[in-house]
Copies of this chain bind each other. A is one copy, B any other.
Amino acid sequence: MASSAPSSSNDAPDPAPTNLRPTTYDSWCGVAHGCTRKIGLKICGFLQRTNSLEDKGRIVGSLKERQSSKNLLACENSEREARFRRTETDFSNLYARDLLPAKNGEEQTMQFLLEVVDILLNYVRKTFDRSTKVLDFHHPHQLLEGMEGFNLELSDNPESLEQILVDCRDTLKYGVRTGHPRFFNQLSTGLDMIGLAGEWLTSTANTNMFTYEIAPVFVLMEQITLRKMREIIGWSNKDGDGIFSPGGAISNMYSIMAARYKYFPEVKTKGMAAVPKLVLFTQNIHYSIKKAGAALGFGTDNVILIKCNERGKIIPADLEAKILEAKQKGYVPLFVNATAGTTVYGAFDPIQEIADICEKYNLWLHVDAAWGGGLLIANSVTWNPHKMMGVLLQCSAILVREKGILQGCNQMCAGYLFQQDKQYDVSYDTGDKAIQCGRHVDIFKFWLMWKAKGTVGFENQVNKCLELAEYLYTKIKNREEFEMVFEGEPEHTNVCFWYIPPSLRGMPDCDERREKLHRVAPKIKALMMESGTTMVGYQPQGDKVNFFRMVISNPAATKSDIDFLIEEIERLGQEL
């Protein structure tokens, strides 16, 4: 049914990681893929050639485990592992208090959870079924009034488990199928089955990342995965740092905190009043740097926006000019945020030239690769597996080249949590690196997906999305119904375009046309949501009026779904 992993080809370049400064997207990708292939070859070669006892032992152990797992699967209703079968159960007289840990609650519990699973499996099945809608749209007031008995209000008294199951069905019914092959609305789309299994397990394990004590396996998985990510980025020192955080905005916030602490460690105790007036530089495309600037006490006035070219890439000369201008005014430039794959255009900032400027002025370079990912030159990197890699929300990592900064920056040494007299190596208690105290287990689903797909699997998945973006671009670029927002091929999976309704075709560019065109995308989007057939984002950007931003990160999408989107936009927009 399925073959083993594809063999790696040997024709990729083999660059030394420290000298890599790809400037174009092609070289950037080439290097990233080359690096990936190289790691693949190394591991494959290693497994084929090695005869060391340890590795033999590991392979044999793994085979043994498989064997025992087979036995286990075959062993129906053994004492150790029960197999659960659903039976018809009347939930109308059962309540939450009848479930475990209630006495004799096991059977009801298993039946209830199996019933929930049935609802979820039906949802999963429909998610991938193109004959179903992406959403069944209702306005807030409609849902608040209660749709066909779906009552959102909370009450003092319990509802029966039967009603709880109905609530679960209704919650899914009135929601949005973000894994539907025709959901293109956000950067995070798709519903990965391994990731889903991982998240179900994570919920069931219900633990907390702050100490090794209560999350031993997850803490190690995080450490191993962060190291792997740093290797792929290309950082040569083994001792970098990082942590999974609740999303890219928080990862970016960590990068600013790390930079500030690195250059001005006294800020931790004395605050912003004790340091010079610091400024941060970024392009205007994502608000997370401004948000973090406000939160961390820099002030948004001190987040200086760098000009971009027509493709949405930072103009390095403008960055340098603004650094000099800030210095002349008595400010101290601290930090530059470059983006690898911007939110709207999917643009890659010229990382190498920015890195040179940062080196010249001794600034911290952070790369927000939340959407792009890959191989980079930076002091820190934000990498969101929940975007391009299709991991379930939430899954974002902040990676720092230098070890110890996160710990130094955030450590408060709470004695009640991070006791130093534990019996194990307490350096595995990672909680004091975080700005959170408790921290959700975001690692397992990602680790499990990596196990199940391998690096090559992720590579194929990303490549497929890139190919679909190219397909879309090629298909619409020369048609009168569409107009591209910028010239040239997309660098990422973002394809930005206007739909030109019949009434505006051939009309010369003027204020009237611009005003009318500005209203086209919102109208089509509203009709699209009403009909529930597909979802795609739109926004204005700088002096550009509202345009569609198509993004492809959903592994379920195929060329037919791209075709459908185009036809649907034309269908909904033909009367405008």
Contacts and interface: CB of A to CB of B under 8 A. Distances in A.
A239 interface: no
A156 B197 contact: no
A481 interface: no
Contact of A140 (B44, B74, B101, B220): B220
Contact of A110 (B125, B221, B413): B125
A496 to B, nearest CB: 11
Nearest to A530: B423
Interface stretch (A11-19, A297-305, A350-358, A503-511): A297-305
A29 interface: no
A247 B73 contact: no
B156 A456 contact: yes
Given A109-B124, A117-B117, A158-B451, 15 more contacts: A36-B156, A43-B155, A82-B121, A82-B125, A101-B181, A113-B196, A114-B117, A139-B425, A168-B448, A206-B392, A269-B300, A287-B437, A294-B410, A295-B296, A415-B540
28 contacts: A1-B94, A5-B156, A5-B158, A64-B148, A66-B92, A66-B163, A69-B166, A81-B122, A123-B205, A137-B216, A152-B221, A156-B454, A164-B197, A167-B451, A171-B444, A172-B204, A188-B208, A199-B203, A206-B392, A208-B393, A213-B535, A271-B299, A272-B272, A273-B299, A287-B414, A419-B522, A423-B522, A423-B526
B164 A452 contact: yes
A209 to B, nearest CB: 9
Contacts of A214: 176, 178, 185-186, 535
A206 B81 CA distance: 30
A140 B212 contact: yes
A366 interface: no
Given A171-B217, A386-B438, A61 B121 contact: no
B159 A452 contact: yes
B124 A157 contact: no
A125 B106 contact: yes
Size class of the contact patch on chain A: 35 or more
A27 interface: no
A65 to B, nearest CB: 4
A396 B92 CA distance: 31
Contact of A440 (B246, B444, B556): B246
Nearest to A192: B96
B172 A205 contact: yes
Contacts of A23: none
Interface in A104-149: 106, 108-110, 112-125, 128, 137-141, 143-144, 146, 148-149
Contacts of A450: 154
Given A61-B148, A152-B220, A453 B158 contact: yes
A58 interface: yes
The 5 closest A-B pairs by CB, nearest first: A297-B297, A271-B299, A40-B156, A101-B556, A61-B149
Contact of A249 (B101, B172, B435): B435
Nearest to A119: B201
